[in-house]
Chains A and B, each alone.
Chain A
Amino acid sequence: MSAPVIELVGIVTRFGRTVVHDGIELAIEPGEVISLVGGSGSGKTTLLREIVGLLTPTAGQVRLFGEDLHAGSRAEQARRRRRYGMLFQQGALFSAFNVFDNVAFPLRELGCLSAREVHDAVMLKLAMVELQPEHALLMPAELSGGMIKRVALARALALEPELLLLDEPTAGLDPDRSAAFVRLIQDLQQQLGLTVVLVTHDLDTLAALSSRVAVLAERRILVCDTLDRIMTVEHPFIDRFFRSERSQRALARGLETL
C-alpha cells in the first residue's frame, strides 16, 4: 500500500576506472532500521551520499518516498529534501552559529514560523536529545564529541523528518557514550516512527539498532536480511566481519543494550 521510503534501482558508481558499486538493488520500507555494513572502501558512505543527492550515481535510479530523487521542480525537490535528515560523521555543525542557531537554522529557512515557534521547537529537540537548555548558547567549538553528535542529531530532527540517515553515528564516542547514543536513537525511532538508515563499523550499534542489515561487498548488496539470517550465510566477508571471536562478543554486547 505504501511505497518504499528508499528504493535503489541498479545503482552503478564509477570514480575514474574504479567501480565502486555495480548494480545495487535495495528497498527500504517505512519504519525499518537498516544498517549498511561493508569493509573499508566498499562505498558505504558513497551510497549514503547518493541517497541524499550529494553524489549522483553513474547509472541507476534513487527513489525516495516513491519518486525519483531529481524529479520535479526546484521547489518540489527542496520539499523532498526536507523530509529527511542526515547526521554527518563529524557533525558538520555550522561553526559560526551556537547550538540554538544550528538547530533553528533549518526551521528559520522555512520562513513561515514565528520566533516563538522556532524557539519552542528547538528547545524540544534539544530536550529530546537530552541536552540541557543552558547548552543552547554554547558554540560548536566548546562541545565534546558526544555533544556534537547529539546537537547534529537534534538538527537532523529539526524539520520532523520521516527518514533519518546516520553516517557512523557512534564513531569517535567512548563505549559508554555510544551505548547512550544508540539508546537515544532507538527511543527516538520508536517514538517518532522514523525510518533509519545507518552506516556503521560498530557491531554493538548494529546489533542493538537494526531491524535488517544490508551487507555491501563485491560492489553490490550481498544480502539484506535480519542479523540472525545473515549469520547463516556463507561468504568470506560475512565470515570475517560477523563470525570472528571479537565480533561475536560485540554483537552479544549490542543485543544486551536492547
Chain B
Amino acid sequence: MTDGDSIRLPQLLNDGGAVALTGDWTLRSLQPVLKQMRRQLADASGAAHWDLTRIGRLDNFGAQLLWRYWRAERPERLDVSEAIDRTLSRVAALGGVEPTPRRGSLLDPIAAIGAVGIGLARHVIEFIALLGQLAIDFGYLLFRPGLWPLREISANLYKTGVRAMPVTALVGFLIGVVLSYLSALQLKAFGADIFIVNILGLGIIRELGPVLVSVLVAGRSGSAMTAQLGVMRVTEEIDALATMGISRYIRLVMPKVIALCIAMPLLVLWASAVAILGGMVSAYLQLDIGFLFFLQALPQAVPLPNLYIAIGKGVVFGMMIALVACHFGLRVKPNTESLSANTTASVVSAITMVILVDAVFAIATRGIGVPI
C-alpha cells in the first residue's frame, strides 16, 4: 500500500498492439491529467493486449474509464492481478445501466402552458378553501369562547404590531419630510403655501399611510409568517399538531389573521401620525407654517371620513397580507427550494394584492371625504 499522501501519476504506455498502464488509476490521481488520459485511451482503445499488472491502485472511477474505452468488453488479452480484476468485474456487472431517458416531446410547451393555468387555478381554489375553512372555524369558535387562541393572538400582535413600530415610524417620518419638501417647492411658486396641509393630510392619511405600512408589513411579517409555517411543514410540526387533534387553522392561521387585522390599522394610524409630524417639521422649515396653525387647519382640510377609510384599509390590507402569507406557507413542500420560492411569492403577491385592493378602494370611495 502506498503512503497516504503520495500519489503516483497514471501513465499509459502504448506500443502499437500492447498497452501497459502504470501508476494509480484513481479519481484523485487522474483528475489533473484526465484530458490527456482520455485522448491516450481513445487512441489505444483498439489494442488487443492490455497489461494492468503494473498498476498501483484502481478505483471504480478508473475502472469505469477503462471500461468505457474498452466499449464494455474485456480486451482479448488482459494481464491483471486478482484484486484489480475484482474491481473491473464489479464495474462490469453493475455498470452498463442505460441513461435514464430524458422525456421530451413537441407537446411539452403546450403542457407547460397548461401547467401554469392549472397552477393558477389551484392557487385560487386553495385560497378559497382557506377562506372557507377559516369561516367554518370562526363559526365553530363563536359558541366556544374557551377555545379562542388568545395567547397566540397576543403573541402575534406583539410580533407584528409592537415590533414593527420603530421601522414604520422611521420610514413614515422620512416620507413625510420628503413629500412636504417637494410640495413646498411647488406651492411656493404659486403662493399657495397653505395648501401644504391639504396635500399632506389627504395624501398621507388616505393613501400613503395604509399602502406604505402594508408594503413594510408584507415584507416584514408576511415573509416571517410564510417562513414559519413552511419550516413547520418541513420539520413535520404541522403534522404533529394534527395528530394531537389541534386544527392548524385555529392555532396557526387564525391568530395571525386576527392579530394583523388589529395591528395593521393601529400601525397605519401610528405611521400616518409620524409622517404628518415629519411633514410639519419640513413645512415649518420651508414655508414657515407653525405647528399650531398646521394642526388647526388639518381637520378642515381632511374630513373625518378619511380617517375611517384609512382604518378600513388597514384592516383589509392586514387581513390580505396574513391570508396570503398563510396560503403560501401551507403550500411549502418539504424542501429548501420550495421554502424560498413560496416566501418570495408570498411577499410579492401580498404587495400586489394590496395595491390592487387599494385601487378598488379608491374607486369605491371616490365620493367620500374629499372636500371640493
Interface, chain A (partner B; CB < 8 A) = 1-3, 5, 30, 65-67, 79, 82-83, 94-96, 100, 110, 112-113, 116-117, 119-121, 123-125, 127-128, 133-134, 136-137, 139-141, 159-160, 162, 191-192
Contacts and interface: CB of A to CB of B under 8 A. Distances in A.
B243 interface: no
Interface stretch (B61-69, B131-139, B252-260, B290-298): B61-69
A70 to B, nearest CB: 15
Contact of B95 (A96, A120, A137): A120
Contacts of A94: 336
B31 A112 contact: yes
B110 interface: no
A6 to B, nearest CB: 10
Contacts of A5: 4
Interface SS of B by simple majority:
helix
B1 interface: yes
Interface string B33-67: 01100000000000000000000000111001100
A100 B99 CA distance: 11
A67 B3 CA distance: 12
B3 A66 contact: yes
Contact of B2 (A2, A128, A140): A2
Contacts of B333: 141
B90 interface: yes
A2 B3 contact: yes
Contacts, number: 91
Nearest to B63: A124
A94 B234 CA distance: 13
A4 to B, nearest CB: 8
Given A120-B64, A141-B334, A191-B86, A66 B97 contact: no
Contacts of B60: 121, 124-125, 128, 160, 192
B323 to A, nearest CB: 26
Given A83-B28, A133-B97, A66 B65 contact: no
Contacts of B1: 1-2, 30
Contact of A139 (B31, B61, B100, B335): B335
B108 interface: no
Given A139-B335, A160-B27, A112 B100 contact: no
A132 to B, nearest CB: 10
B5 interface: yes
**Residue of B34, B234, B335 contacting most chain A CB atoms (<10 Å):** B335
B100 A133 contact: yes
B337 interface: yes
A133 B35 CA distance: 28
Contact of A95 (B26, B64, B334): B334
A83 B100 CA distance: 29
Nearest to A93: B335
B286 to A, nearest CB: 53
Given A96-B337, A112-B34, A124 B91 contact: yes
A110 B337 CA distance: 24
B189 interface: no
Contacts of A134: 100
Contact of A124 (B2, B26, B64, B99): B64
